[in-house]
Amino acid sequence: MLKVFKGEEKAFLDNSFHPQKISQHIQQYKLMKKLSSFVLAAILFVCTLLSITPHALAQTAFPTPGKNYYLTAKVSGKVLDVSGGSTDNGANIQQWEKGGVDQQKWRLEDAGNGYYYLVSQKSGKVAAADYKGVTGTNLNNVVQYDKVGAEEQKWKLEDAGNGYFSLVNKATGKLLDVEGAGLTDGTNVQQCEKNGTDAQKWKFETADTAPSVPNTPKKISIDAATNTGNGKRYFFKGNQYIRYDSDANKVDAGYPKPIKEWKGLEAFANGIDAVFEWTDSVFFFKGNQYIRLDDDGNKVLEGYPKPIKGNWNGLEPFANGIDAVIGGGDYHYFFKGNQSITFNKEANKADGSPLPINTKGHWVGLEPFADGIDAAYEKPPYIYFFKGDQYIRYDTRPYEPAEGPKPIKDNWNGLEAFAQ
């Protein structure tokens, strides 16, 4: 049945289907379509942003092959280090507080196929996984060795995010790892299965010398020294020491070593101020205390460290610290600042008060070192005095210098490990 529209219904139809109204509807439709497309695109953009992981946002700049780096462990903030600054094959690799020394600097060299060598600036040897047990029974250990192109010497760098990398050994597939996630100096560095911990994340921090001072010479200085009766001399600097073969005129293999590895000196692990031998005992001084080791430094005695005050008659003026000691002959000579005290061995007490080093008739010819002595030792008939990067060889027969001041580097081969 045909419906007949009347009144308001007819007016509505007339308005709705008027050509002008139809055109307006079409324009509104097109506008809504454009708005819908824009909203959809915006939603997709936001979703894309949300899908990006923090790891992707923190892509790490890859280190440059051919440059030197410190490798800093995320877990501890300490750096990859060759134990004792050794240049020997098989020397252990550990972590240590960054000290700017060459044993902590590693050159990244391309080994091909996405792998790299870590080359020690100190020794020229490379970090290697000792999974075959060449240098020990710990098959997870990492050591330095001559570069021979072996797979155990090659490492792949994998982005670990936020400026860190994981180092994967080509031979074993294991990661460079701080053993036990240790936080202390000397903690061993090994290879371990991937576990995602901070002990396996390393940051490459540039170690190249600033171009503005490429030729700045390094100077050798020492804190303490002593001469033994077996042809060995011991030099101390910071937290390390060197054993020196006076007959061969060179540093013994495996040195420098940390002072803390010398049994009985753990309390003085951060440094020695002065040291000397007396009969079969060795005396070590640090601040206002001292340690005595018997049997040429091999036997630990109980009750040490002890205070200087109250145990050395007449040394009260030097009770807060000693810079150097000479222990030969009938007397000990203690030095502090620009003064010295003569200690009578037989009487077991000091002969009088401190005297300035440059006192007339006291130490003739030591005027260049009149403001203080860093270290000294005696090898009859000579006494060797050290100050800064220089030394004086002093002849005790006429009591005057035989040579010097001269640079330390000119007379002791191998003490470059103490250069700064």
State pLDDT tens for residues 206-219: 998 655 445 556 78
Mean pLDDT within 24-50: 51
State pLDDT tens for residues 314-337: 999 999 999 999 987 788 999 999
Q: What class is the 224-418 domain?
A: mainly beta
For residues 93 and 73, is the Cβ–Cβ distance under 8 A?
Answer: no
According to the model, what pLDDT value does residue 287 have? 95
According to the model, what pLDDT value does residue 231 have? 79
User: b/e for 172-196, b at 16 or more Cβ within 10 A?
Assistant: bebbbbbbeebeebbbbbbbbeeee
Q: Which segment, 34-48, 174-188, 283-297, is predicted with the most confidence on average? A: 174-188
> In angstroms, how far apart are the furthest CA atoms of the chain?
145
**pLDDT class of 13 with cuts at 50, 70, 90:** very low
- Segments making up each domain of the chain, as ranges: 68-206, 224-418
According to the model, what pLDDT value does residue 57 have? 37
Asked whether residue 20 carries a pLDDT value surpassing 70, the answer given is no
pTM above 0.75, yes or no: no
For residues 189 and 358, is the Cβ–Cβ distance under 8 A?
Answer: no
Q: Which residue shows structure tokens 């210098």?
A: 401
State pLDDT tens for residues 264-302: 999 999 999 999 988 788 999 999 999 999 876 678 888
Asked whether residue 353 carries a pLDDT value surpassing 90, the answer given is no
For residues 343 and 315, is the Cβ–Cβ distance under 8 A?
Answer: yes
Neighbouring C-beta atoms of residue 51, cutoff 10 Å:
8
Task: Report the CATH fold assignment for 68-206.
Answer: Trefoil (Acidic Fibroblast Growth Factor, subunit A) (2.80.10)
For residues 62 and 204, is the Cβ–Cβ distance under 8 A?
Answer: no
